[in-house]
Amino acid sequence: MSDDDPQSDPSDPTRRKFLVTTGSSVAASLVASYVPALASGSDGDSDSAWAQTGSSLEDAVPITLRINGKDRQLRIDSRTTLLDCIRETVALTGTKKGCDHGQCGACTVHVNGKRVLSCLNFALMHDGDEITTIEGLGTPDALHPMQAAFVACDGYQCGYCTSGQIMSAVALLNEPCGPEDAAVKELMSGNICRCGAYPNIVAAIQQVRKGA
Amino acid sequence: MHTFKFIRPTDSAAAIAAAAESKTAQQGADVRFLGGGTTLIDLMKLNVETPARVLDINRLPLDKIELMPDGGLKIGATARNSALAYDARVQRDYVVLSQAILNGASAQVRNMATVAGNLLQRTRCAYFRDTAMPCNKREPGTGCPAIESGNRTLAIFGASDHCIATNPSDMCVALVALEAKVHVQGPKGPRVIAFGDFHLLPGSSPDRETVLEPGDLITHVTLPPPIAGSKQFYLKLRDRASYEFALASAAVVLTITGGKVTRARVALGGVGTKPWRSPEAEAALTGKAANDATFRQAAEAALRGAKPQSENAFKIELAKRCLTHTLRTAAAS
């Protein structure tokens, strides 16, 4: 979860880095085989989606996003959601895309300290805002207490919803919430876990609240 | 999603001028104000909304919640639903509003969604959200398949031969019972709209949902001064315990003096094509003893005019029991 830049360390053989590296070389070889004009970077169709990268993107808008304390100067299409910007543009893939329609909570991040659904925000709405993702909470060597509690209480099974659950749970610590489990369940109802790890998620949150 | 120009107006006047260039402020608008995004961006992803220009009004100074000289409350258009629900004045004097908001959506959505955006929340009717299907609200004249089937969650009040879609808001149900007012600034100046007049019945033009015209910007919502000793409650019944739209809900504001109901405001949610006030229930309560028999009679009166669809006749008894329980709980509070 400290995977700040998955492409930064060539000696780090993570699964994601393997997929990113092999995926892009496969894509590059396909482009080289079938679209020689683009592969050589010369006279391709400038309207082609293949050619629209980085600053050449039509109608791209410059924006500064402050993510996990670090300013990122980006140029993005106005349609880019905060979620897609975090995952695809900035390559912080701890934040997950579940339903992409605000129904599952997997994409939960903090904006200026409040939990929000990054799939239902345009990145352009957040120029200058302080954004925190799961990568900004803790590191494998120094877990956030909520991350440690999820590990201790086994608050997950497949793990896909976990970063959203933890971002929600950390925000909940600063929200009006009664002491009982029912109050925690109500305030966590926007985070769906299809594995059904709910009892352990509630236990993890209560462990942190009682220890705090 | 279709491409659009993202614009951040510098002030309300600029926002109004830009929005006034739209042909309509209703379904099919080519200019949209962007608040929390929880409805608009969802519908843009589905190509149900396809604005060419999106005006981000989140940085305009419209997010304050302020006490007014008359003792009422002024709620800024971009105040977040969570800020309103947890406001100490709302929790003390307008608790039905806090309860309604906290029964809606999830904590994340409430942190994003604005008050004005909640007023403009769109129906969850599955046909409206699916561009492969006919829908008179989305594409006037194409028909309403919901009248044939798939109408379990849809309206039993206010429907027409053209549309039976339910208004999904919880917050608006409480605002009806509290007799809120909607304040709009438009190209021709400001105006104030009584809450009950803000939403329109579908009639023969279900694409038109509110009285808003191009350029109209909701600036704030006001609540009248609190009624001392009033008893309030919001109850929501739904398929899941949380994070689900209402099958039936009720908001009540009662004044009980010497065991009698002296003033009653009753609104129903999840059952109407707009947030549904029940003058029938209010009349059945006023002047009567505050007891279970009265409450059940008020619920019978409230649902007398209901017209069920093919799959939702259950909502009539559900709404009666919902309102009876809401009245009983409020009276005992």
Q: What is the pTM of this model?
A: 0.91
Bridge partners (DSSP) of residue A61 are A76
The pLDDT assigned to A34 comes to: 38
Instruction: Tell me how far apart the alpha carbons of residues B142 and B256 are, in angstroms, rounded to a whole number.
Output: 49
Instruction: Please compute the mean of the pLDDT values over residues B236-251 and round it to a whole number.
Output: 98
Name the H helices within A80-195: 82-84, 145-153, 162-172, 181-187
The DSSP letter of residue A169 is: H
Tokens matching residue B214: 């191009």
Distances (CA, A) of A156 to A183, B61, B246, B270, B298: 20, 42, 30, 34, 48
Name the interface residues of B facing A (CB cutoff 8 Å): 1, 3-6, 34, 36-38, 41-42, 45, 54, 56, 58, 82, 86, 105-109, 111-112, 241-243
Asked if B60 and B34 count as a contact pair (C-beta separation under 8 A), the reply is no
Closest-CA residue to B218 (of B31, B35, B5, B4): B35
Taking the C-alpha atoms of A186, B271, B291 and B240 in order, what is their torsion angle to the nearest 10 degrees? Answer: -20
Q: Is B263 helix (H, G, I), strand (E, B) or coil?
A: strand
**Does residue A176 sit at the B interface (CB-CB below 8 Å)?**
yes
Residue A68 φ/ψ region, left for φ over 0, alpha for ψ in the -120 to 50 degree band, beta for the rest = left
Collect all residues of chain B within an 8 Å Cβ-Cβ radius of residue A80. none
Collect all residues of chain A within an 8 Å Cβ-Cβ radius of residue B105. 190
Count of alpha carbons within 13 Å of A165, Cβ hemisphere only?
Answer: 30
Q: What kind and span of H or E run contains B298?
A: helix B292-303
Higher pLDDT, A31 or B187: B187
**Could you name the CATH architecture of B231-331?**
2-Layer Sandwich (3.30)
ipTM of the complex: 0.96
Backbone angles phi, psi at B47, to 5 degrees: 60, 25
CB distance B38–A115 less than 8 Å?
A: no
The pLDDT assigned to A47 comes to: 37
Domains, in order of start, for chain A = 52-136 (3.10.20.30), 145-211 (1.10.150.120)
Tokens matching residue B99: 């309860």
The DSSP letter of residue B113 is: -
Instruction: Tell me how far apart the alpha carbons of residues B115 and B97 are, in angstroms, rounded to a whole number.
Output: 12
pLDDT at residue B216 greater than cutoff 70: yes
Collect all residues of chain A within an 8 Å Cβ-Cβ radius of residue B34. 122, 125
pLDDT in tens, B190-213: 999 999 999 999 999 999 999 999
Instruction: Please compute the mean of the pLDDT values over residues B134-148 and round it to a whole number.
Output: 98
Closest-CA residue to A122 (of B117, B35, B49, B25): B35
Asked if A102 and B38 count as a contact pair (C-beta separation under 8 A), the reply is yes
Instruction: Please compute the mean of the pLDDT values over residues B256-279 and round it to a whole number.
Output: 98
The pLDDT assigned to A53 comes to: 43
Percentage of residues in chain B having pLDDT higher than 70: 100
Nearest to B106 among A101, A176, A190 (CB): A190
Collect all residues of chain A within an 8 Å Cβ-Cβ radius of residue B41. 81, 120-122
